[in-house]
Structure 1
Amino acid sequence: MASQGRQTGSFGDELTNAAMIGLVALFGLALILRAAGSIAAFLTGTDQPAAGPAAGVGVLFRPGDPAAALDADGLHPFAYWTVAVVLLAALAAAGGWVWVRLRRHARKVETDPHTTAGIATSHEITTTASARALLKRAANLRPSLDSPTPADVGYRLGTSKGKEVWASVEDSILLIGPPRSGKGLHVVIPAILDAPGAVITTSTRPDNLTATLRARKRIGPVAVFDPQHLAEGVPAGMRWSPIRGCADPLTAMIRATGLASATGLSAGGVESGGFWEGKTRTALQALLHAAALDHRSPEELFRWTLDPSAAAEAVAILTNHPDAATGWADSLESMIDADPRTRDSIWQGVSLALGALADPRVLDAVSPGPGKDFDPERFIRDKGTLFLLATGAGAGASAALVAALVEDLVETARRIAARSPGARLDPPVLLALDEIANLAPLPSLPVLMAEGGGTGITCVPVLQSLAQARDKWNENQANAIWDAS
């Protein structure tokens, strides 16, 4: 009954609206017909109609005698209707022109990205994302500068509605766009060129490197970690060992987290993938810790990952070394002595994490000579630029090593920030993670997006879609990355 009442009420409203529209249309027509009488009388030299505007309706009932309907003696019907038709035609033409213009405008609005819901208005850009708004925050962003420019405290993202759009150095910037949409050309490369401090940038191609290498050399040291030799003609130069610093258990844990994340075990498609990735991480941190304590080479570390029985050497080191982390030897030994099925599942992840070392070029890239170890703290303080090139698939894919190196650098940057005034890096570090989802999903990225800006780490992950983020991390972590940007 209630539904029937609502339907009846709706029908009544429609009738009322139709009646109102009809009355307005009738009144407009009456005005036109009355105006036609005045114009026709003026053109023919007869007396002006004496009747009011409502008399125009009367013409409809006496079309053969408009003079009587309008009280206009001498008004000829032919002259009157000629003027009336011209007026009606002109009005129809004007209405059609207006309708076409409105339709074109509506289509333009529908297809204009500037009018999409969620896009900042011109006023919002001026008050929150303009150069002037950025400079108002400069004293908090980089208090060490007396007269900063916008480029000292932020990054120019482009223009919107004729206004420059800027992001501050403490903003986390999530860049999403399909392949070949200009993400690198219009955002990543300019950010690398304009960065006031150290830059750490990843990619699967050498485009960003070739476009910015020479300019960044004028700011500080430049290093290229390219274990797969993806950049032809550019010396790989830098060598970095994943064992470096792992005598510290915390460093070994961070390093193992980066290596294990690149296996993709927890990304889906593997039953209990998160569990096996955790086991892989635990085994790797023990192997890295043992290798660092006993000054083993990356080649020996790789040998341990190939065969659980060979890793018994690492157990012996962790058991006998006075600086070994408590319980790590027992944990590693329990994995080696587990039933064959469990042991093989764990070691599959371990060998996958460092499988790229089977490529002699990659093994060479992680085997620095005596006294040639990469010093990340000095590199960051000297405003260095580090280009990391790798692929996440194919033979010799070294994405796991890149992920571990990035995690190493991020942790170093955090430690420097903790000792700096205001617990903030100055100048800030730019982390331009181009193609990061196609390399390795950094475990720390969701947290880094939320907290990095406050410590002076500007994080710019570049993705092709949010679906890619959900696939490489998970639904909750992808949402966290989006919410923090």
Structure 2
Amino acid sequence: MSTARPGSRISGSDLAPWAIVAVAAAALVVFGVVWLGGTVGAAVSGAGFDPPPFALSSFAGLVSHGPGHLWPGAPAVAVFGGIAAVLALVTLPVVLVLNAVRRRRPKTKGLAGVRELAALAPEGIAQRARDLRPTLKGVKDLDPDETGNLLGDLDPHGPELRSSFEDVELDLMAPRAGKSTGIAIPRVLRARGAVLLTSNKSDVYAVTRAEREKVGHVWTFDPQGIAHAPREMWWDMLADCVTIEGARRLAGHFVASVNDDASKKDFWISAAQNTLTALFLAAAGGRASVTDLLAWLADPADRTPIDLLRDMGMSALAEQLQGTVRGAVETRDGIYETARQCVACLLDPEILAWVTPDPYRAEFRPHEHVLSRDTLYLLSKDGGGSAAGVIAGLADATMRAGVVAAERMGGRLDPPMTAVLDEAANVCRISDLPDLYSHFGSRGINVVTLLQSYRQGSRVWGEAGMDALWSAATIKLLGAGLDDADFVDKISKLVGQHDVSTVSLSKSRDGTSRSVSYRLDPILPPDRIRALPKGTALLLATGVKPALIRLRPWYKEPGAAAISAAAKKETEAITQRAAQKWSAHAADQRI
């Protein structure tokens, strides 16, 4: 007895009966179309309705003698036109049925289809938006961008899917996999309320700036010249440091900018954060400047911050700072040197100017920004010397201002605020972001965190912190280029398994028998998740089966030509400003 499984060779004798049936059926359909089409065409041309015999000999006569043999007096053009018309009438319904069946079935068995994703589809998300936003109640025709954030189209044929305004999102994609073109830029362009964007590149800024200027004021915080934007604003970095909580948060942002894993703070890092907390609080309460604060760090013997803390009634904190100063010289110097390294970026006058009061430039006030339709671009480089601590501090202050505003509005911001934290692990290391994530969503602050990999987030927030961030995100998009084998294997298990049928053919003296067995296979094997094409992503939404979606790049959307022209103009302006800056620098070097 022999057994044949899928993929094995099946003998011609097994297929012969089916081949005969298939050939006969095809011949019958072709001859029927020719017979009926030619007859109808001849009748329409005026030759009369005179169908030839429905026999094989008629078809042979048509092939050997032409249409005049079967339909005398009828023009050949009319005959062939009738055949083409009947062929179209027969083919069109079949195509429509097959297309409808293909649209109703997901491309990959086991993934979510239209029915499972109804809550993210246009009708479901519109109803959810009316429940979340009081200003939309009673509005009959809603702009799609008023209902939720565009995620993409369900693969392969739609519909478009959107997240609600209480969802928070985590996106993991490799470089050049569509993070900017398919996520960051569309979110900024489509935002209905205030916008905050962090990045280490100028591409999102260049594409979106002109469009955002049409709806509100554009604030560009660019202390390191990513876009070479002129300094037209300043931010009071110490404004929220009038409380111990505010001072500790700001100190934590500077510490996180030089410490990869928040769960591995050693003695020096923790002590430096405590010292910076005391100094920030003293500077804010004593109306001192950031320059004064740097001077205190340079000279631990300066008693000014201790006196200011005592004048503020912060005796315990003053005593703690004094204990640090009076401790062993080696310990004190180690703590202060670590603190100086954490805020070393402020030694750069180009960066310091952006957080120093300037009567000739506008002050950015986070509490006003979150109630507007303005846009805040936070740009910083990676690595040593970056302004990541300042960027994280301003981003955190803005989002916390959004929380305060939401509480005053009854619970949620309306319209919601959009915060796109691109390169969050490099330029916006908010140490407790995993803990705040779900809270932001409940306040109408749509946070989108973009990372290159799961491991990149673990280096910043630790394994536990990244797990918390993953769990708190109600929408997760996994794009192309995920090369972490362990992570991809976990995702494959998370997507699940499905039954796969195996057909077995057994031959014996009594004949051929066919049996079907089933086995469990991954819906998406790890190798397929790793090889997701650019422009596609695996969608993991809370309470819904995983789905494959196609991202919607901004340059394929309506109005892209005008946006592209404005982006080209802005890019040329950036290039020109960069050339002028380096020309001036070269001139200074020659002098």
**Superposition deviation, residue 275 in structure 1:** 4.2
2:449 counterpart of 1:461:
yes
- The residue number in structure 1 matching 2:306 is 315
2:189 counterpart of 1:189:
no
2:424 counterpart of 1:436:
yes
- The residue number in structure 2 matching 1:245 is 240
Task: Name which of structure 1's ranges 397-406 and 257-266 shifts more when overlaid on structure 2.
Answer: 257-266
CA distance in 1, matches of 2:109, 2:15: 43
SS at match of 1:192: helix
**Superposition deviation, residue 245 in structure 1:** 3.3
2:167 counterpart of 1:171:
yes
SS at match of 1:474: helix
Counting only pairs closer than 5 Å after superposition, residues 5-16 of structure 1 correspond to structure 2 as none
Counting only pairs closer than 5 Å after superposition, residues 83-102 of structure 1 correspond to structure 2 as none
The amino acid across from 2:407 in the alignment is: A
SS at match of 1:348: helix
The amino acid across from 1:195 in the alignment is: A
1:294 to 286, 289, 296: 286
2:324 to 310, 335, 341: 335
**Superposition deviation, residue 212 in structure 1:** 0.9
CA distance in 2, matches of 1:194, 1:176: 21
TM-score, normalisation: structure 1: 0.72
CA distance in 2, matches of 1:330, 1:205: 44
Conserved 8 A contact 2:421-2:428: no
The amino acid across from 1:215 in the alignment is: E
Structure 1 residues 332 and 157: CA distance shift in structure 2, 3 A = same
- The residue number in structure 1 matching 2:275 is 283
Structure 1 residues 172 and 309: CA distance shift in structure 2, 3 A = same
Cα distance per residue 1:332-386 (max 9 Å; x no partner): 1122222233323322331122111111101111112249542111121122210
SS at match of 1:327: helix
- Larger proportion of strand: 2
Conserved 8 A contact 2:260-2:460: no
Conserved 8 A contact 2:235-2:365: no
CA distance in 1, matches of 2:5, 2:194: 69
**Superposition deviation, residue 240 in structure 1:** 1.3
SS at match of 1:174: strand
SS at match of 1:381: coil
The amino acid across from 1:134 in the alignment is: I
Conserved 8 A contact 1:428-1:457: yes
CA distance in 1, matches of 2:204, 2:4: 67
Counting only pairs closer than 5 Å after superposition, residues 132-147 of structure 1 correspond to structure 2 as 132-146=123-137, 147=139
2:168 counterpart of 1:155:
no
Paired residue total: 377
Structure 1 residues 339 and 30: CA distance shift in structure 2, 3 A = closer
Task: Name which of structure 1's ranges 343-352 and 423-432 shifts more when overlaid on structure 2.
Answer: 343-352
Counting only pairs closer than 5 Å after superposition, residues 218-233 of structure 1 correspond to structure 2 as 218-232=214-228
RMSD: 2.8
- The residue number in structure 1 matching 2:253 is 258
Cα distance per residue 1:77-120 (max 9 Å; x no partner): xxxxxxxxxxxxxxxxxxxxxxxxxxxxxxxxxxxx96397x53
The amino acid across from 2:453 in the alignment is: S
Conserved 8 A contact 1:114-1:160: no
SS at match of 2:449: strand
Question: Which has the higher Rg, Structure 1 or Structure 2?
Answer: 1
SS at match of 2:357: coil
CA distance in 1, matches of 2:472, 2:416: 18
Conserved 8 A contact 1:255-1:405: no
CA distance in 2, matches of 1:346, 1:123: 59
Cα distance per residue 1:405-452 (max 9 Å; x no partner): 11111221111111112x111111111001111114212311232221
**Superposition deviation, residue 274 in structure 1:** 4.6
SS at match of 2:335: helix
CA distance in 2, matches of 1:349, 1:120: 51
CA distance in 1, matches of 2:16, 2:208: 71
**Superposition deviation, residue 31 in structure 1:** 10
**Superposition deviation, residue 174 in structure 1:** 0.9
The amino acid across from 1:241 in the alignment is: D
Cα distance per residue 1:228-270 (max 9 Å; x no partner): 12212x22322113212322333222222222222216458xx
- The residue number in structure 1 matching 2:372 is 382
The amino acid across from 1:185 in the alignment is: T
The amino acid across from 2:145 in the alignment is: A
The amino acid across from 1:415 in the alignment is: V
**Superposition deviation, residue 177 in structure 1:** 0.8
The amino acid across from 1:243 in the alignment is: L
Conserved 8 A contact 2:201-2:226: yes
CA distance in 1, matches of 2:15, 2:340: 89
- The residue number in structure 2 matching 1:325 is 314
Structure 1 residues 482 and 254: CA distance shift in structure 2, 3 A = same
2:471 counterpart of 1:483:
yes
- The residue number in structure 2 matching 1:75 is none
SS at match of 1:392: coil
Conserved 8 A contact 1:316-1:329: yes
Counting only pairs closer than 5 Å after superposition, residues 100-111 of structure 1 correspond to structure 2 as none
Conserved 8 A contact 1:171-1:458: yes
CA distance in 1, matches of 2:313, 2:107: 59
Cα distance per residue 1:197-233 (max 9 Å; x no partner): 111110011111111111111222211111112212x
CA distance in 1, matches of 2:145, 2:406: 21
The amino acid across from 2:301 in the alignment is: S
**Superposition deviation, residue 307 in structure 1:** 3.5
CA distance in 2, matches of 1:449, 1:468: 18
Counting only pairs closer than 5 Å after superposition, residues 52-91 of structure 1 correspond to structure 2 as none
2:198 counterpart of 1:202:
yes
Structure 1, unmatched stretches of 5+, are 1-14, 36-112
Conserved 8 A contact 1:229-1:236: no
1:115 to 108, 118, 128: 108
- The residue number in structure 2 matching 1:361 is 350
**Superposition deviation, residue 18 in structure 1:** 5.3
Conserved 8 A contact 1:151-1:194: yes
Conserved 8 A contact 2:125-2:164: yes
CA distance in 2, matches of 1:294, 1:174: 40
Structure 1 residues 19 and 442: CA distance shift in structure 2, 3 A = closer
Structure 1 residues 291 and 20: CA distance shift in structure 2, 3 A = closer
**Superposition deviation, residue 305 in structure 1:** 2.5
Structure 1 residues 294 and 19: CA distance shift in structure 2, 3 A = closer
